[in-house]
Amino acid sequence: MSVFLTTSGQIIAPIVVLIGIGAILHRAFRLDMNTLSKLILYFFVPAIAFVKIYEAKLSFALLLQVIGFLLLQFVLLLILTEGISRLFRFSKGFSASFSNSVVLTNNGNIGIPVNDLAFRHDPLAMSIQIVVVVFEILVTFTFGLLKASAATKGLLGSIRHFFRLPVLYAIILGLLCNLLQLSVPDFLWVPAKQAANGMLAIALVSIGAQIASVALKKNTWLVVASSFLRLIVSPIVAYGVITLLGLDGITAQALFIASAIPTSRNSAALALEYNNEPEFAAQAVLVSTLLSTITLTLCISLAGSLFP
Protein backbone atom coordinates (compact mmCIF):
# COMPACT_ATOMS: atom_id res chain seq x y z
CA MET A 1 0.00 0.00 0.00
CA SER A 2 2.82 2.42 0.83
CA VAL A 3 4.41 1.89 -2.61
CA PHE A 4 1.05 2.49 -4.27
CA LEU A 5 0.44 5.70 -2.32
CA THR A 6 3.97 6.99 -2.89
CA THR A 7 3.91 6.30 -6.63
CA SER A 8 0.46 7.82 -7.02
CA GLY A 9 1.08 10.84 -4.83
CA GLN A 10 4.59 11.81 -5.90
CA ILE A 11 4.60 10.91 -9.59
CA ILE A 12 1.16 10.45 -11.11
CA ALA A 13 -0.81 13.06 -9.17
CA PRO A 14 1.37 16.03 -10.27
CA ILE A 15 0.97 14.94 -13.89
CA VAL A 16 -2.80 14.78 -13.56
CA VAL A 17 -2.77 18.22 -11.92
CA LEU A 18 -0.92 19.72 -14.91
CA ILE A 19 -3.37 18.13 -17.34
CA GLY A 20 -6.22 19.55 -15.27
CA ILE A 21 -4.66 23.02 -15.32
CA GLY A 22 -4.42 22.83 -19.10
CA ALA A 23 -8.09 21.91 -19.34
CA ILE A 24 -9.09 24.80 -17.04
CA LEU A 25 -6.95 27.32 -18.94
CA HIS A 26 -8.39 26.21 -22.26
CA ARG A 27 -11.96 26.48 -20.94
CA ALA A 28 -11.22 29.98 -19.66
CA PHE A 29 -9.11 31.41 -22.51
CA ARG A 30 -9.50 29.10 -25.55
CA LEU A 31 -5.76 28.49 -26.04
CA ASP A 32 -4.38 28.37 -29.57
CA MET A 33 -3.69 24.65 -30.02
CA ASN A 34 -1.72 25.10 -33.24
CA THR A 35 0.70 27.48 -31.52
CA LEU A 36 1.14 25.08 -28.60
CA SER A 37 1.84 22.22 -31.01
CA LYS A 38 4.47 24.22 -32.90
CA LEU A 39 6.11 25.36 -29.67
CA ILE A 40 6.43 21.77 -28.44
CA LEU A 41 7.58 20.23 -31.72
CA TYR A 42 10.03 22.93 -32.79
CA PHE A 43 11.46 24.13 -29.48
CA PHE A 44 10.86 21.99 -26.39
CA VAL A 45 11.31 18.57 -28.03
CA PRO A 46 14.67 19.42 -29.69
CA ALA A 47 15.89 20.82 -26.37
CA ILE A 48 15.03 17.70 -24.35
CA ALA A 49 16.37 15.40 -27.09
CA PHE A 50 19.75 17.15 -27.06
CA VAL A 51 19.99 17.29 -23.26
CA LYS A 52 19.05 13.64 -22.62
CA ILE A 53 21.36 12.26 -25.30
CA TYR A 54 24.24 14.49 -24.24
CA GLU A 55 23.90 13.45 -20.58
CA ALA A 56 23.69 9.67 -21.19
CA LYS A 57 26.65 7.66 -19.80
CA LEU A 58 26.59 3.98 -20.77
CA SER A 59 28.83 0.97 -21.30
CA PHE A 60 28.81 -0.55 -24.79
CA ALA A 61 27.71 -3.99 -23.54
CA LEU A 62 24.79 -2.53 -21.59
CA LEU A 63 23.82 -0.43 -24.57
CA LEU A 64 23.64 -3.48 -26.84
CA GLN A 65 21.54 -5.45 -24.34
CA VAL A 66 19.03 -2.69 -23.81
CA ILE A 67 18.75 -1.73 -27.48
CA GLY A 68 18.23 -5.38 -28.42
CA PHE A 69 15.36 -5.61 -25.97
CA LEU A 70 13.81 -2.28 -27.06
CA LEU A 71 13.98 -3.11 -30.77
CA LEU A 72 12.39 -6.53 -30.34
CA GLN A 73 9.64 -5.20 -28.08
CA PHE A 74 8.96 -2.34 -30.49
CA VAL A 75 8.62 -4.68 -33.48
CA LEU A 76 6.26 -7.03 -31.63
CA LEU A 77 4.00 -4.19 -30.45
CA LEU A 78 4.01 -2.65 -33.92
CA ILE A 79 2.97 -5.95 -35.52
CA LEU A 80 0.16 -6.21 -32.97
CA THR A 81 -1.17 -2.68 -33.55
CA GLU A 82 -0.90 -2.94 -37.32
CA GLY A 83 -2.82 -6.22 -37.21
CA ILE A 84 -5.60 -4.62 -35.15
CA SER A 85 -5.73 -1.63 -37.52
CA ARG A 86 -6.13 -3.91 -40.53
CA LEU A 87 -8.67 -6.12 -38.76
CA PHE A 88 -10.94 -3.18 -37.92
CA ARG A 89 -10.10 -1.28 -41.13
CA PHE A 90 -8.97 1.92 -39.45
CA SER A 91 -8.35 4.96 -41.64
CA LYS A 92 -4.71 5.94 -42.23
CA GLY A 93 -4.99 8.79 -39.76
CA PHE A 94 -6.58 6.70 -37.05
CA SER A 95 -4.17 3.82 -37.63
CA ALA A 96 -1.25 6.22 -37.17
CA SER A 97 -2.59 7.60 -33.89
CA PHE A 98 -3.56 4.14 -32.60
CA SER A 99 -0.10 2.67 -33.29
CA ASN A 100 1.66 5.69 -31.80
CA SER A 101 -0.51 5.53 -28.66
CA VAL A 102 0.74 1.99 -28.01
CA VAL A 103 4.38 1.97 -29.16
CA LEU A 104 5.36 5.47 -27.95
CA THR A 105 5.74 5.86 -24.20
CA ASN A 106 6.31 8.68 -21.72
CA ASN A 107 9.55 7.18 -20.42
CA GLY A 108 11.16 10.59 -20.05
CA ASN A 109 8.77 12.58 -17.90
CA ILE A 110 7.20 9.63 -16.09
CA GLY A 111 9.74 6.82 -16.54
CA ILE A 112 12.70 8.69 -15.07
CA PRO A 113 11.02 9.62 -11.73
CA VAL A 114 9.46 6.13 -11.52
CA ASN A 115 12.89 4.56 -12.03
CA ASP A 116 14.44 6.89 -9.46
CA LEU A 117 11.78 5.98 -6.90
CA ALA A 118 11.70 2.24 -7.58
CA PHE A 119 15.48 1.76 -7.51
CA ARG A 120 16.33 4.43 -4.92
CA HIS A 121 18.76 6.41 -7.09
CA ASP A 122 20.64 3.31 -8.33
CA PRO A 123 23.06 4.55 -11.06
CA LEU A 124 22.84 1.33 -13.11
CA ALA A 125 19.06 1.45 -13.19
CA MET A 126 19.11 5.13 -14.19
CA SER A 127 21.66 4.46 -16.95
CA ILE A 128 19.29 1.85 -18.37
CA GLN A 129 16.42 4.30 -18.14
CA ILE A 130 18.39 6.94 -20.03
CA VAL A 131 18.97 4.43 -22.86
CA VAL A 132 15.22 3.83 -22.95
CA VAL A 133 14.55 7.57 -23.09
CA VAL A 134 17.03 8.11 -25.93
CA PHE A 135 15.52 5.17 -27.85
CA GLU A 136 12.03 6.61 -27.34
CA ILE A 137 13.14 10.01 -28.64
CA LEU A 138 14.64 8.41 -31.75
CA VAL A 139 11.59 6.21 -32.39
CA THR A 140 9.14 9.05 -31.77
CA PHE A 141 10.76 11.36 -34.29
CA THR A 142 11.55 8.75 -36.90
CA PHE A 143 8.83 6.09 -36.93
CA GLY A 144 6.24 8.06 -34.95
CA LEU A 145 6.61 11.23 -36.98
CA LEU A 146 6.74 9.42 -40.32
CA LYS A 147 3.69 7.36 -39.37
CA ALA A 148 1.73 10.46 -38.35
CA SER A 149 2.75 12.66 -41.27
CA ALA A 150 2.44 9.96 -43.94
CA ALA A 151 -1.30 9.80 -43.27
CA THR A 152 -1.67 13.38 -44.53
CA LYS A 153 1.50 14.17 -46.50
CA GLY A 154 2.32 10.81 -48.08
CA LEU A 155 5.59 8.94 -47.53
CA LEU A 156 7.86 11.17 -49.65
CA GLY A 157 6.32 14.33 -48.25
CA SER A 158 6.69 13.07 -44.68
CA ILE A 159 10.37 12.17 -45.26
CA ARG A 160 11.08 15.63 -46.62
CA HIS A 161 9.24 17.15 -43.67
CA PHE A 162 11.23 15.00 -41.22
CA PHE A 163 14.54 16.34 -42.51
CA ARG A 164 13.30 19.89 -41.92
CA LEU A 165 12.58 19.26 -38.24
CA PRO A 166 15.13 20.58 -35.71
CA VAL A 167 14.81 17.47 -33.49
CA LEU A 168 16.80 15.40 -36.02
CA TYR A 169 19.75 17.76 -35.79
CA ALA A 170 19.41 18.05 -32.02
CA ILE A 171 19.77 14.24 -31.78
CA ILE A 172 22.81 14.20 -34.08
CA LEU A 173 24.43 17.10 -32.23
CA GLY A 174 23.77 15.47 -28.85
CA LEU A 175 25.32 12.19 -30.01
CA LEU A 176 28.41 13.92 -31.40
CA CYS A 177 28.94 16.00 -28.26
CA ASN A 178 28.49 12.89 -26.10
CA LEU A 179 30.79 10.59 -28.10
CA LEU A 180 33.48 13.22 -28.58
CA GLN A 181 33.09 14.45 -24.99
CA LEU A 182 32.72 18.04 -26.15
CA SER A 183 31.89 20.68 -23.57
CA VAL A 184 28.79 22.77 -24.27
CA PRO A 185 29.21 26.48 -23.45
CA ASP A 186 27.05 27.72 -20.57
CA PHE A 187 25.27 30.30 -22.73
CA LEU A 188 23.90 27.38 -24.81
CA TRP A 189 23.67 24.67 -22.15
CA VAL A 190 21.71 26.70 -19.58
CA PRO A 191 18.82 27.63 -21.91
CA ALA A 192 18.77 24.11 -23.39
CA LYS A 193 18.55 22.62 -19.89
CA GLN A 194 15.84 25.08 -18.86
CA ALA A 195 13.81 24.31 -21.97
CA ALA A 196 14.18 20.56 -21.37
CA ASN A 197 13.01 21.00 -17.77
CA GLY A 198 9.97 22.93 -19.00
CA MET A 199 8.93 20.22 -21.46
CA LEU A 200 6.79 18.32 -18.94
CA ALA A 201 4.65 21.28 -17.95
CA ILE A 202 4.00 22.68 -21.43
CA ALA A 203 3.32 19.23 -22.92
CA LEU A 204 0.84 18.17 -20.23
CA VAL A 205 -0.90 21.55 -20.20
CA SER A 206 -1.37 21.23 -23.97
CA ILE A 207 -2.82 17.73 -23.54
CA GLY A 208 -5.24 19.10 -20.96
CA ALA A 209 -6.26 21.83 -23.40
CA GLN A 210 -6.88 19.21 -26.09
CA ILE A 211 -9.00 17.13 -23.75
CA ALA A 212 -11.08 20.15 -22.69
CA SER A 213 -12.20 20.69 -26.28
CA VAL A 214 -13.52 17.17 -26.96
CA ALA A 215 -16.08 14.76 -25.55
CA LEU A 216 -14.33 12.07 -23.50
CA LYS A 217 -16.88 9.46 -24.54
CA LYS A 218 -15.80 9.58 -28.20
CA ASN A 219 -14.05 6.36 -29.34
CA THR A 220 -14.28 5.06 -25.77
CA TRP A 221 -13.64 1.39 -26.55
CA LEU A 222 -10.63 2.22 -28.72
CA VAL A 223 -9.15 4.43 -25.99
CA VAL A 224 -9.61 1.57 -23.50
CA ALA A 225 -8.10 -0.91 -26.01
CA SER A 226 -5.09 1.36 -26.52
CA SER A 227 -4.56 1.68 -22.76
CA PHE A 228 -4.92 -2.08 -22.30
CA LEU A 229 -2.24 -2.74 -24.92
CA ARG A 230 0.09 -0.08 -23.49
CA LEU A 231 -0.29 -0.93 -19.79
CA ILE A 232 -1.04 -4.67 -19.73
CA VAL A 233 0.02 -6.29 -23.00
CA SER A 234 3.29 -4.35 -23.27
CA PRO A 235 4.65 -5.65 -19.90
CA ILE A 236 3.61 -9.18 -20.89
CA VAL A 237 5.51 -8.81 -24.17
CA ALA A 238 8.44 -7.35 -22.22
CA TYR A 239 8.48 -10.34 -19.88
CA GLY A 240 8.70 -12.69 -22.86
CA VAL A 241 11.49 -10.69 -24.52
CA ILE A 242 13.48 -10.41 -21.26
CA THR A 243 13.19 -14.19 -20.78
CA LEU A 244 14.16 -14.83 -24.40
CA LEU A 245 17.27 -12.64 -24.12
CA GLY A 246 18.24 -14.09 -20.74
CA LEU A 247 18.31 -10.75 -18.93
CA ASP A 248 18.10 -10.64 -15.14
CA GLY A 249 18.65 -8.47 -12.07
CA ILE A 250 18.38 -4.71 -12.23
CA THR A 251 18.59 -4.65 -16.03
CA ALA A 252 15.53 -6.89 -16.37
CA GLN A 253 13.64 -5.09 -13.60
CA ALA A 254 14.26 -1.63 -15.08
CA LEU A 255 13.20 -2.69 -18.58
CA PHE A 256 10.09 -4.46 -17.28
CA ILE A 257 8.98 -1.35 -15.38
CA ALA A 258 9.78 0.90 -18.36
CA SER A 259 7.51 -1.26 -20.54
CA ALA A 260 4.52 -0.33 -18.36
CA ILE A 261 4.90 3.45 -18.68
CA PRO A 262 1.77 5.17 -20.09
CA THR A 263 1.32 6.65 -23.55
CA SER A 264 3.67 9.41 -24.65
CA ARG A 265 2.36 12.96 -24.70
CA ASN A 266 4.30 13.24 -28.00
CA SER A 267 1.78 10.88 -29.61
CA ALA A 268 -0.90 13.49 -28.87
CA ALA A 269 1.35 16.31 -30.08
CA LEU A 270 1.98 14.48 -33.39
CA ALA A 271 -1.72 13.72 -33.80
CA LEU A 272 -2.53 17.39 -33.26
CA GLU A 273 0.22 18.58 -35.61
CA TYR A 274 -0.99 16.34 -38.48
CA ASN A 275 -4.70 16.24 -37.55
CA ASN A 276 -4.75 12.46 -37.07
CA GLU A 277 -7.63 11.97 -34.63
CA PRO A 278 -6.18 14.38 -32.01
CA GLU A 279 -9.18 13.80 -29.71
CA PHE A 280 -8.46 10.07 -29.55
CA ALA A 281 -4.74 10.66 -29.02
CA ALA A 282 -5.31 13.11 -26.16
CA GLN A 283 -7.76 10.76 -24.47
CA ALA A 284 -5.35 7.83 -24.85
CA VAL A 285 -2.67 9.81 -22.99
CA LEU A 286 -5.07 10.84 -20.23
CA VAL A 287 -6.67 7.42 -19.67
CA SER A 288 -3.39 5.49 -19.78
CA THR A 289 -1.82 7.96 -17.35
CA LEU A 290 -4.71 7.63 -14.91
CA LEU A 291 -4.83 3.83 -15.13
CA SER A 292 -1.05 3.60 -14.74
CA THR A 293 -1.46 4.58 -11.08
CA ILE A 294 -2.58 0.98 -10.61
CA THR A 295 -0.67 -0.92 -13.31
CA LEU A 296 2.69 0.74 -12.65
CA THR A 297 2.46 -0.04 -8.97
CA LEU A 298 1.76 -3.69 -9.79
CA CYS A 299 4.69 -3.86 -12.22
CA ILE A 300 7.07 -2.30 -9.70
CA SER A 301 5.96 -4.89 -7.16
CA LEU A 302 6.31 -7.78 -9.62
CA ALA A 303 9.69 -6.75 -11.04
CA GLY A 304 11.72 -7.81 -8.02
CA SER A 305 10.07 -11.21 -7.69
CA LEU A 306 10.11 -11.99 -11.44
CA PHE A 307 13.74 -10.97 -11.99
CA PRO A 308 15.70 -11.40 -8.72
Answer whether residue 268 is part of any domain.
yes
Question: Nearest 5 degrees, angle CA 108-CA 111-CA 113?
Answer: 100
What CATH number has the domain bearing residue 152? 1.20.1530.20
pLDDT at 161: 65
Going from the C-alpha of 148 to that of each of 36, 73, 99, 281, the distances in angstroms are 18, 20, 9, 11
pLDDT at 128: 85
Q: Is the pLDDT of residue 200 over 70?
A: yes
Answer whether residue 22 is part of any domain.
yes
Cα-Cα-Cα-Cα dihedral sign, residues 80, 52, 171, 179: negative
pLDDT at 216: 60
pLDDT at 213: 67
Q: Is the pLDDT of residue 208 over 70?
A: yes
Number of structural domains (the chain) is: 1
Q: Is the pLDDT of residue 155 over 70?
A: no
Answer whether residue 307 is part of any domain.
no
Residue 223's closest CA among 86, 101, 100, 77?
A: 101
pLDDT at 83: 92
Instruction: Tell me 261's DSSP state.
Output: -
Q: Is the pLDDT of residue 198 over 90?
A: no
**Residue predicted with more confidence, 111 or 228:** 228
Question: Nearest 5 degrees, angle CA 230-CA 235-CA 237?
Answer: 100
Instruction: Tell me what the mean pLDDT of segment 265-272 comes to.
Output: 78
Answer whether residue 308 is part of any domain.
no
Q: Is the pLDDT of residue 199 over 80?
A: no
Q: Is the pLDDT of residue 16 over 70?
A: yes
Answer whether residue 185 is part of any domain.
yes
CA 223, distance to chain mean position in Å, is 16
The rounded radius of gyration (Å) of the Cα atoms in the chain is 18
Domain limits at 246? 2-302
| Predicted TM-score of the model (pTM) | 0.77
Q: Is the pLDDT of residue 159 over 80?
A: no
Answer whether residue 249 is part of any domain.
yes
Summarised one tens digit per residue, pLDDT across range 68-111 is: 999 999 999 999 999 998 888 888 878 888 888 899 998 876 78
What is the rounded CA–CA span in Å between residue 293 and residue 227?
12
Q: Is the pLDDT of residue 7 over 70?
A: no
- Band (243; pLDDT cuts 50, 70, 90): very high
pLDDT at 18: 83
